[in-house]
Structure 1
Amino acid sequence: MNKLIHVAEQFEKRGISARVFPSRSEALIALLETIKDGQTTAFGGSMTLQELGAYEALMNNGKNVLWHWRVSGEKVPKLLKDAMNADVYVSSSNAVIEDGRLLNIDGVGNRTAALFFGPPRVIIIAGKNKLAPDYSSALERIKTVACPKNAERLNRNLPCRLTGKCQDCRSPERICQVSVLIENNLNQRSLEVWLVNEELGF
């Protein structure tokens, strides 16, 4: 917990609001409490949110939630665009750098774009396993953990799925298309990082 508190303090210094939760259940309760009735909430693709059961919890509480993981193929493009106009955007981060920065790699760009140019309020929920001491370690974590596991999850025929490490491939099935490093709050938007003292997602 002390380490997460220290990391939260680094985010605050960069103008990014940060909270620390002892458990996933407490983070989920806070999420339910913070979404107001009548607000539209959009989710980025996130195993963290799936493991939290966040979509089901919000829907069961009568909230309006947009998540492309819960619609059929032909509805996805419109939903991705609608998500950019949501009141609240919730996602995780591929890596949380301990000096208060966020590093993300995306396949389509919808998630990364929403984090810095989209909904007026963005909440990033990340487990302690996402922490990395510096930029190089964060990139290494993504290339050796997140990307290979996502390639497996998506059933993509990619070298990283076989080797467990990014090969900077040129495959048409490549899922590492866009990289974004957030180093500070932009235009004083409501950007929040919620750190959870459990392992969540990958």
Structure 2
Amino acid sequence: MNDFQEIADRVEIEALRGEFTDAAMMRDRARLAALFTPDGVLRMPNVPVEFIGREEIRTGGERLQAQWDFFVQNSHPGVIRLDGDTATGRTYMQEVARMLDGRSGLNFAVYHDSYRRTPKGWRFTERVYEVKYVDTTPLRGFAPGPDAQAHGTGETGDAGPASEASGADAPATGSADDFGAPASAERLDRAVAALRANGFAAELLDDAAAARARVRELIPEGASVFTGASETLGLSGIAQDIEEGDRYRAVRPLVLTMDRATESDRIRRLVATPDVFVASVAAVTETGSLVIASGSGSQLPACAGGAAKAIWIVGAQKVVPDLNTALRRVEEHALPLENVRAQAAYGQQSAVNRLLVLNAEPQPGRGTVLLLREAVGF
């Protein structure tokens, strides 16, 4: 091998390692997977995970990144040893991360690499991730931006200042008053940031199928689960997953078999204090509040605090700028559609007899909002 070829190989391998870090930071798992040979392997024994082949590397990485609130990876070049069309090397890492469940910390690690020359350039045949140091001290910082001031109210549970900080400079987009249209990516990001600042665990997912899979991960097997009446749960298949089969102790099917005249007290207790409450909402504001409307009020105790855990699945069309717009959405959009459903299901019209606004979650980790990028339900 001549000196020019060796220099070119080293430059290309350095670029490959830099591309990996960039793809990880940009959450571009398809691009990251393409940096491996078709039979390439990504091993992380400390996690522990092992992904074999590009498809596993892509899908497995997507599952891992879905758990991040934020993630920053700094890579430092290490040794490269060339051997014809193959090579080995190491890359040193410093990473800072916070998970959606509140866990956070930093670590130092090293990637032990194997590379191969291909017709499309150098690719990883194997990356083995070895953690050298971990510090799980809770991180106190946040990503600067238009929502930065909102993080200051997370411990108090007071959503007033947070609402002003995260929403004052957020003019309504063209779809803000189109209550059936999905919100823009910018407005979805703003809502997620505000919800997290107000104590909710908030995740942004692509669609109802992703929410369905995530709900299954969030609810432990054997838990008692009460499902609120919701088009979103029905259309996504989440209600069917919970209420059929024996994975959970589903409250709603049980209550429907009980005598309301003689067992009303037991019914009340069952629906008010389940292990997990799952439903949707009428609106979520870009200032981090949830708005729930109800005709009977039966689901509100569990929603407000009676359930040990609560999960709300929310379509992108339910994001509105502020509380005033949320109340208009209830009256002008959700109620007319709910009337149609109620007449078909119960033979009577619905009404907004009770209205619950959750401005913050004082018990971190209790309430999870799965906000979708697509419109689901009404």
Answering whether residue 38 of structure 2 is matched by residue 38 of structure 1, we say no
Supply the distance in 1 between the matched residues of 2:255 and 2:199 (Cα, whole angstroms).
33
Gap change, CA 1:69 and 1:195, over 3 Å in 2:
farther
| CA apart distance, 1:70 | 8.3
Counterpart mapping for 1:81-96 below 5 A: 81-96=269-284
Match of 2:356 in 1: 180
Match of 1:200 in 2: 376
CA contact (8 A) 1:68 1:80 kept: no
Counterpart mapping for 1:2-151 below 5 A: 2-58=186-242, 59-60=244-245, 62-67=247-252, 71=256, 74=259, 77=264, 78-151=266-339
The runs of 5 or more residues in structure 1 that have no matched partner are 157-171
Gap change, CA 1:150 and 1:115, over 3 Å in 2:
same
Normalized per residue, which structure has more helix? 1
Gap change, CA 1:121 and 1:110, over 3 Å in 2:
same
Match of 2:111 in 1: none
Residue 333 of structure 2 aligns to a residue in which SS?
helix
Supply the distance in 1 between the matched residues of 2:246 and 2:238 (Cα, whole angstroms).
11
Residue 138 of structure 1 aligns to a residue in which SS?
helix
Supply the distance in 1 between the matched residues of 2:187 and 2:335 (Cα, whole angstroms).
25
| CA apart distance, 1:122 | 0.6
Q: Percent identity?
A: 22
| CA apart distance, 1:69 | 10
CA contact (8 A) 1:11 1:101 kept: yes
| CA apart distance, 1:68 | 6.0
Residue by residue over 1:89-135, the C-alpha shift from the partner in whole angstroms, topping out at 9 and shown as x without a partner, is 00100111111001122111122222112111011110001111111
Greater Cα radius of gyration, structure 1 or 2 = 2
Using structure 1 for the length normalisation, give the TM-score: 0.82
RMSD value over aligned CA atoms? 2.5
Equivalenced residue count is 187
Normalized per residue, which structure has more strand? 2
Residue by residue over 1:22-49, the C-alpha shift from the partner in whole angstroms, topping out at 9 and shown as x without a partner, is 1110110111122111111111111111
8-17 or 189-198, which moves further after superposition? Answer: 189-198
Gap change, CA 1:134 and 1:32, over 3 Å in 2:
same
Residue 83 of structure 1 aligns to a residue in which SS?
helix
Q: Which has the higher contact order (CA 8 A, sep 6+)?
A: 1
The runs of 5 or more residues in structure 2 that have no matched partner are 1-184
Residue identity in the other structure for 2:219: I
| CA apart distance, 1:154 | 1.2
| CA apart distance, 1:2 | 4.2
Supply the distance in 2 between the matched residues of 1:69 and 1:136 (Cα, whole angstroms).
37
Using structure 2 for the length normalisation, give the TM-score: 0.46
Supply the distance in 2 between the matched residues of 1:191 and 1:152 (Cα, whole angstroms).
30
Residue by residue over 1:27-78, the C-alpha shift from the partner in whole angstroms, topping out at 9 and shown as x without a partner, is 1011112211111111111111111111222334622222269835845955
Match of 2:13 in 1: none
Supply the distance in 2 between the matched residues of 1:68 and 1:179 (Cα, whole angstroms).
25
183-192 or 94-103, which moves further after superposition? Answer: 183-192
Residue identity in the other structure for 1:18: A
CA contact (8 A) 1:66 1:79 kept: no
